[in-house]
Structures are given as structure tokens and as C-alpha cells.
Homo-oligomer: A and B are copies of this chain.
């Protein structure tokens, strides 16, 4: 068991009608706010007006940057960093899902340096030592960006999609109001669930000695997602379902579950190569990949972890032979993703072509080995991709 440091000082206002605290929280950091959001869904649900009212009545000066893309692009980040510098922004307010919050994090960091923000993500890997303070209002339960210090940015010119963690980018405060996710449609709700499941499984499937209490918590979060995603799809305004999914999205990736594990994720790096080329929804790519990755990594040395997963999460009968239990666990997960919550099952269905496998696989493993639950080279990754056809 390895040592670790736990340090997640994000303050969260959870529940309805908590925006009355927005002004007081922002004013701790200054008076000039850059409000960032995506394609305008926050206007449709009336959130934009509420936010602007709160900001105005608190006497804050507001600048706006809208149009942040799903799979957010480096050009948006550049624009935001530039605005922060031009307008002497004190604090950034991201209103949206993971894409908006991710992009805002790199704007906040970009505002503190003279170089191009892409240098944070390119081979230069410039240090992220400072960032302007960030506050978020979450509208989609999925990426957990509201409570972690990471983000993923796409660069269409280079066909790269790269993620990075840096403590200065941790939001100071996040507002989690489950009612703001009532308008999230069935497909996006399902994709969010697949993203959360993947965040948990990337940590859970690991043969390192770790803290059992955290495994229990991960199993609890998986059961929560399995219980409530179908409810939220059937009954989009079910507060209990939306609240459980929302709080789970934050805890699936804020770092608590890592304990002292040396982590190396597998499905996320593979998926980033898919969505870098095809711009498909991140959660959908993960849903297609995850059960195949699990199947590929199953052998006598790893089976015990699958048995724990299958029995504790899906209640698979513990008296069966271990390999049978393991396969039943994968089958139940596939059934959940592709039947219960209705996500597409194959690359073929979403238009991902075999001709792109070699280049995507090579990039996913950085032309070497993708270290993870099982280390994967280009051939391994291509084999997993073929299982997804």
C-alpha cells in the first residue's frame, strides 16, 4: 500500500436554490468575472438569466465567453485566456458540463502565462504553477470536472486530444443543483453514466494492494449509477435520481478513491484517440470500449478482481467457478450499457472505421506501451478496437 496526500479543498453547494450564495463566493476573489458557457442550453433552461441577475445584484462586472464546444478546443481556451488578460479578470465562472469547466480551467491557467496555452498540453508540457480562481455551476453529471483539477482539450489541427491535471486548476467552489440536469436528454444521461462508470473502473481494476474501504465505496457508486440512470432516463425530473448521479459524478474522479494506488488509465487514453478523430461523445466511446477492454485483460492473474466486481456490484452468484463469475460480470455490465440505458454497442454503429485503428492505437500508446491494469502495446489496442466492431 502506497502513501498518498489527500487534499480536495473544493467547497460544494449541493441542492436547489443555492445560487443566492454565488455573489458572496465570487466576491472573495474580486469583482471582474469572466462568465463562460457552451452552446446556449443554459439560456433555454433559464439558468443564464438567474446567473446574470445574481452577478448584477452582487455588483460584479461581467464579461462573457460563449460557444465552448463539446470536446472543447484549444481555440476557445486561447480566446478565454486572452480575455482574462485584456479585461483584468479576477475570477472565472464556468456554467455548463465538463467541457465548459475543462476549457475554463486552461483559460484560468493561460491567463497567468505569456505563452500559448497549447504549450500546457503539447510536447512542451509547460508547467501550470498558477491559475486564476475558478467557480463552477454544473449542468451535466459526467466528467467530475467540478471537483477535480484536470481537463481535456482538443486540437483539431494536430488531431490531438490531451488531458492534464494541475492543482492550481481545482475549482474553489462548485454549485451542484440536480434540477439543472432535468433537461439532459436520455442519450446524454446515458453517456454521462458511462463516463462515471469508466472513471471508477479505471481505478478499481488494479491489482495493487489498496484500501478495501475505497473498493467498497467504488462498488457503492457503481450500484448507485446502475440504480439511478434508468430512473433518470425514464423520469428526467426525478430529484433523487439526478441528485445521486450528480454527487457520484464528483466523487468518481475527485481523487478520493485513488488512495495510494499508482494509477495508469487505459480506456480514457484509448477513447481520446477516437473522439479526437471522430468527435463522438466521450461517454459513448468509453461505453463501447470498456467491456471489451475488461474481456481482453481477463486471465488467471487478474480474475480475482473481476470476481469481486461481479459479486459485489451485480450480485453474481459467488459459488460459480471464478472465470464464469468474471465473464458474467462483464456480460451484466454490457447489458446495462447497451440494453438498459440504450447506448450503441459497436464502432460500426457509430461509424468508426477499421482503417483508422493503427494510427489511433499508435497514438494511444504513445508509440510504446500504454501502462494500465494490463500494459497494452499497439497490437493489443488494435485487438481491443477490433472487438468493438
Contacts and interface: CB of A to CB of B under 8 A. Distances in A.
Interface of A: 1-18, 209, 211-217, 219-221, 223-224, 227-228, 239-240, 243-244, 247-248, 251, 259-260
B244 A213 contact: yes
Given A212-B227, A216-B223, A9 B12 contact: no
Q: Pick from A223, A239, A240, A247 the residue with the most CB of B within 10 Å.
A: A247
Contacts of A260: 14-15
Contact of A1 (B220, B224, B243): B243
A251 B214 CA distance: 11
A244 B1 CA distance: 11
Given A1-B240, A16-B3, A211-B247, A219 B221 contact: no
A243 B221 CA distance: 22
B15 A6 contact: no
Contacts of A17: 3
Nearest to A248: B213
A128 B335 CA distance: 54
A211 B5 contact: no
Contacts of A14: 3-6, 259-260
Given A14-B3, A260-B15, A224 B212 contact: yes
Contact of A216 (B211, B212, B221, B259): B221
Contact of A217 (B12, B209, B216, B227): B216
Contacts of A10: 6
A349 B10 CA distance: 47
7 contacts: A1-B239, A1-B240, A5-B14, A6-B12, A8-B9, A213-B251, A219-B220
Contacts of A227: 212
A4 B243 CA distance: 12
Q: Pick from A14, A215, A216, A251 the residue with the most CB of B within 10 Å.
A: A216
Nearest to A209: B240
Given A3-B17, A3-B18, A213-B248, 19 more contacts: A1-B15, A1-B240, A3-B13, A3-B14, A5-B11, A6-B11, A7-B11, A9-B11, A15-B260, A211-B247, A212-B240, A212-B244, A213-B220, A213-B244, A213-B251, A216-B220, A216-B221, A217-B220, A219-B220
B11 A15 contact: no
A244 B214 CA distance: 9
A4 B1 CA distance: 34
